[in-house]
């Protein structure tokens, strides 16, 4: 690649190895270097790469963030943040220096990324930043008794500042977070250039002895909508629950929330926020199954259309869940991963995160309805030329086998990716779009072809404006 994909690391060879590792990770999400590498020598090279002091998580994240910042200019960006734990089952007990995850037994790390999503079409713009924690302290017993500034929630407080800095130049920034982000300090300290959209976790006091949830429930309905509640596959003692459809009522209004007794006394004593409340009209008996999203936001909400816009933006939080799902593979085993230090593990998890964002970006952008631009994925004119050349070799003689999408769209790129994966190219009946796994496999092949083409045509390329 003309521009390295993973980072510069101050050395061309390191940058090239980084790109090879990233491409391998896109193809197959695993923490095992032997599985990632195609030869034994390459596995050793990947190991040496991670050991190298110039290869830092900071350079990988800063590089991704720079690309995202360029693409985000002038757009309304949803900065979606969430935490996920990556577990590594272990057979021989805890290794020195590796932390444990929530169950206090498995080795693992916490990943807290922020991803940039286009508020208009929902396509991924890129990674904004990420915090990784190798938690060596064991599970936190009682997080409510701690100050918000303490370790566990600090990442939620710094997220908006990170986004404000990294997405400077965006037309608008909205942080989108689930209930974990419902921290008074975050609303009180949010930078002026950043909006917040957070699902309420706490039934806060809204003054005059009133509580948030009951207050919202008393507002008049702005509309009713049918929504599909996805199936739940069990785990953690919960049984599997089938997909269902249900009717929800949407309400909106304004509340003033009080500073909780546990919060920093230097913060404002009260804050005025808008609320969009989505709750089932006939909720099921079991309160755990009920749909109730009480969405707190700094955006103005004065019409039912604006309320539904808030709901749509919140639902795009799904994107970060998909990134986590792409990252996680079953049976990751630290013992056999040739990863010897927690720091190297965190580097590899960073590569896995960047790879997962790239894969999901193409998976989501393949839908021509999004209208997402190719420039969100491919930066240089040389790579675009290479893709045009590859596209020409993949198109058939008949009209039916021409790439039907605009050459500047991500859907056009996806058509090439899918064709390389052996997809027939016919869009008539029986066509089933490829999922993340197939796309990831094809992306690696395509990246290699683009590289080869750019290399072979370098002399011709220098003449370009
Ligand atoms: Mn969460």
For 397-426, the DSSP string reads SSGGGS--S-TTBHHHHHHHHHHHTT----
Section 232-259 average pLDDT:
81
Cα(204) to ligand 1 centroid in Å equals 20
Q: Rounded distance, CA 157 to CA 255, Å?
A: 22
pLDDT at residue number 401: 79
pLDDT at residue number 145: 44
- If asked whether residues 82 and 219 sit together in one domain, one would say yes
Residue 210 contacts by C-beta under 8 Å, 6 or more apart in sequence? none
Cα(407) to ligand 1 centroid in Å equals 37
Is residue 361 assigned to a domain? no
- If asked whether residues 324 and 391 sit together in one domain, one would say no
The string of pLDDT tens digits covering residues 50-90 is 999 999 999 999 999 999 999 999 999 999 999 998 777 66
- Point out the least confidently predicted range of 103-112, 168-177, 218-227: 103-112
Percent above pLDDT 90 for the chain: 46
Is residue 66 assigned to a domain? no
Cα(205) to ligand 1 centroid in Å equals 23
Cα(101) to ligand 1 centroid in Å equals 15
Structural domain for 429, as ranges: 370-461
Cα(134) to ligand 1 centroid in Å equals 18
Cα(319) to ligand 1 centroid in Å equals 12
pLDDT band at 335 (very low <50, low <70, confident <90, very high): low
| Mean confidence (pLDDT) of the chain | 83
pLDDT at residue number 294: 97
The string of pLDDT tens digits covering residues 110-164 is 899 999 999 998 999 999 999 988 766 544 444 444 454 455 677 888 899 999 9
Section 335-341 average pLDDT:
69
Section 174-194 average pLDDT:
94
Q: Rounded distance, CA 90 to CA 112, Å?
A: 23
CATH number of the structural domain spanning residue 89: 3.90.350.10
Point out which residues pair with 146 in neighbouring strands.
none
Cα(55) to ligand 1 centroid in Å equals 29
- Of the two residues 240 and 254, the one the predictor is more confident about is 254
pLDDT at residue number 238: 57
- If asked whether residues 310 and 248 sit together in one domain, one would say yes
Query: Three-state SS for 207?
Result: coil
Is residue 33 assigned to a domain? no
With a threshold of 0.75, does the pTM exceed it?
Answer: yes
The string of pLDDT tens digits covering residues 385-417 is 888 888 888 887 777 778 888 888 888 888 888
Is residue 104 assigned to a domain? yes
Overall domain count for the chain:
2
Cα(380) to ligand 1 centroid in Å equals 35
Cα(155) to ligand 1 centroid in Å equals 12
Confidence check: pLDDT of 188 > 90? yes
- Point out the least confidently predicted range of 20-29, 38-47, 267-276, 325-334: 325-334
Is residue 190 assigned to a domain? yes
CATH number of the structural domain spanning residue 416: 1.10.740.10
Cα(181) to ligand 1 centroid in Å equals 8
Residue 348 contacts by C-beta under 8 Å, 6 or more apart in sequence? 31, 50, 337, 339
Is residue 362 assigned to a domain? no
- If asked whether residues 374 and 324 sit together in one domain, one would say no
Q: Rounded distance, CA 73 to CA 422, Å?
A: 36
Cα(180) to ligand 1 centroid in Å equals 6
- If asked whether residues 169 and 253 sit together in one domain, one would say yes
- If asked whether residues 154 and 263 sit together in one domain, one would say yes
- If asked whether residues 86 and 196 sit together in one domain, one would say yes
Cα(86) to ligand 1 centroid in Å equals 13
Q: Which residue has the tokens 């790439």?
A: 403
Cα(418) to ligand 1 centroid in Å equals 32
Is residue 325 assigned to a domain? yes
Is residue 224 assigned to a domain? yes
Judge contact between 271 and 283, C-beta under 8 A.
no
Cα(330) to ligand 1 centroid in Å equals 20
């Amino acid at each position: 690649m003309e521009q390295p994909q993973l980072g510069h690391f101050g050395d061309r060879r390191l940058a090239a190895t980084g790109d090879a590792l990233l491409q391998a990770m896109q193809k197959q999400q695993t923490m095992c270097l032997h599985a990632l590498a195609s030869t034994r020598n390459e596995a050793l090279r990947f190991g040496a790469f991670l050991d190298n002091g110039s290869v830092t998580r900071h350079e990988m994240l800063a590089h991704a963030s720079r690309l995202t910042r360029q693409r985000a200019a002038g757009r309304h960006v949803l900065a979606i943040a969430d935490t996920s734990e990556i577990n590594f089952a272990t057979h021989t007990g805890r290794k020195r220096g590796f932390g444990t995850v929530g169950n206090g037994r498995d080795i693992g790390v916490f990943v807290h990324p922020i991803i940039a999503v286009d508020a208009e079409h929902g396509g991924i713009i890129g990674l904004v930043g990420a915090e990784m924690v190798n938690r060596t302290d064991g599970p936190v017993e009682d997080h409510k008794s701690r100050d918000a500034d303490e370790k566990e929630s600090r990442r939620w407080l710094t997220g908006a500042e990170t986004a404000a800095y990294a997405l400077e130049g965006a037309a608008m920034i909205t942080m989108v977070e689930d209930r974990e982000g419902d921290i008074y300090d975050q609303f009180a300290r949010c930078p002026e250039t950043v909006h917040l959209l957070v699902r309420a976790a706490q039934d806060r006091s809204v003054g005059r002895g009133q509580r948030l949830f009951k207050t919202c429930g008393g507002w008049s309905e702005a509309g009713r909508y049918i929504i599909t509640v996805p199936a739940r596959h069990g785990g953690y003692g919960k049984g599997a629950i089938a997909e269902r459809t249900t009717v929800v009522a949407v309400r909106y209004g304004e509340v003033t929330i009080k500073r909780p007794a546990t919060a920093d006394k230097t913060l404002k004593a009260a804050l005025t926020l808008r609320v969009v409340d989505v709750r089932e009209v006939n909720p099921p008996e079991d309160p755990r199954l009920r749909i109730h999203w009480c969405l707190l936001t700094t955006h103005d909400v004065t019409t039912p259309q604006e309320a539904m816009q808030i709901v749509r933006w919140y639902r795009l939080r799904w994107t970060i869940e998909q990134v986590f799902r792409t990252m996680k593979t079953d049976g990751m085993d630290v013992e056999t991963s040739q990863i010897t230090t927690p720091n190297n593990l965190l580097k590899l998890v960073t590569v896995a995160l960047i790879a997962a964002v790239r894969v999901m970006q193409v998976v989501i952008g393949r839908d021509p309805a999004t209208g997402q631009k190719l420039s969100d994925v491919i930066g240089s004119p040389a790579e675009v030329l290479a893709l045009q050349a590859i596209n020409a070799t993949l198109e058939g003689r008949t009209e039916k086998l021409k790439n039907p999408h605009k050459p500047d769209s991500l859907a056009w790129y996806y058509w090439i990716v899918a064709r390389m994966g052996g997809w027939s190219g016919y869009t008539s009946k029986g066509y089933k779009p490829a999922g993340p796994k197939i796309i990831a496999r094809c992306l690696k092949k395509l990246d290699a072809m683009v590289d080869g083409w750019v290399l072979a045509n370098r002399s011709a390329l220098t003449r370009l404006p």
